[in-house]
Amino acid sequence: MGRECAWLGWKALLAFYREAANWAPLTYSGGVVFCHRNAPIHSAKRLASDLTDQAKDRGGRGNFAAYQALESFDAIGQDIDDFMRDRYRFTEGRGIVLGFPEIACIEGNMEHWRETLSKRKLHSLVTNLMRGGKVDRDTAIAQLLEFKNAASENTAESIRALHGMVGGAAFLHILELWDYAGIAL
């Protein structure tokens, strides 16, 4: 979907998870692709289907989703398993798929994160992690905070909460979903 309305895909995923929470014992999985509106629809559908399979395979018996944010549509160019393993290598396999608690945490905090975190520093941190760099969680959070004020501790705590759920992938999810999650209707 086009970037100007791609956040609606995130809102749809969130709404689905909220509603489906009442469907026990049914389980479900989903895949979402954020891409340019001119992206080849069949490639985007295939990738969404592959991401759904990733959510099923990696989530086990549970309710999970996987997403991919593509700034300019390019085919991943390799097997989806290899791509996901490589992309999330620094997380030791944690946080590749998101359940409702993770989705709700990201949605509920993203607006605040956009206001208090340095996106430039977040990008540098994620790049470093993806290249094999090691970073202490609390040191990384301190580096991301632009200003030290009362909101800083709330920001740090909310990132720690997401980090507790998905490990180091928290930083990648915040960066990749920066333009999609937490958008007010």
**31 - beta bridge partners?**
66
Burial 52-77 (b: 16+ CB within 10 A, else e): bebbbebbeeebbbbbbbbeeeeeee
Radius of gyration from C-alpha coordinates of the chain = 16
Query: Any idea which of 31-35, 37-41, 47-51, 172-176 has the lowest mean pLDDT?
Result: 37-41
Q: Are 99 and 62 in contact (CB under 8 A)?
A: yes
CA distance 102 to 65: 10
C-alpha torsion sign, points 88, 93, 94, 98: positive
The per-residue pLDDT for 114 is 92
For residue 87, what pLDDT is reported?
A: 82
Cα 124 versus chain centre, distance: 17
pLDDT in tens, 3-41: 467 788 899 999 998 888 888 788 889 999 888 778 888
Report residue 112 as tokens.
């605040």
Confidence (pLDDT) at 2: 45
Query: What are the tens digits of pLDDT across the range 64-81?
Result: 999 988 865 455 666 888
Average pLDDT on 91-101 reads 85
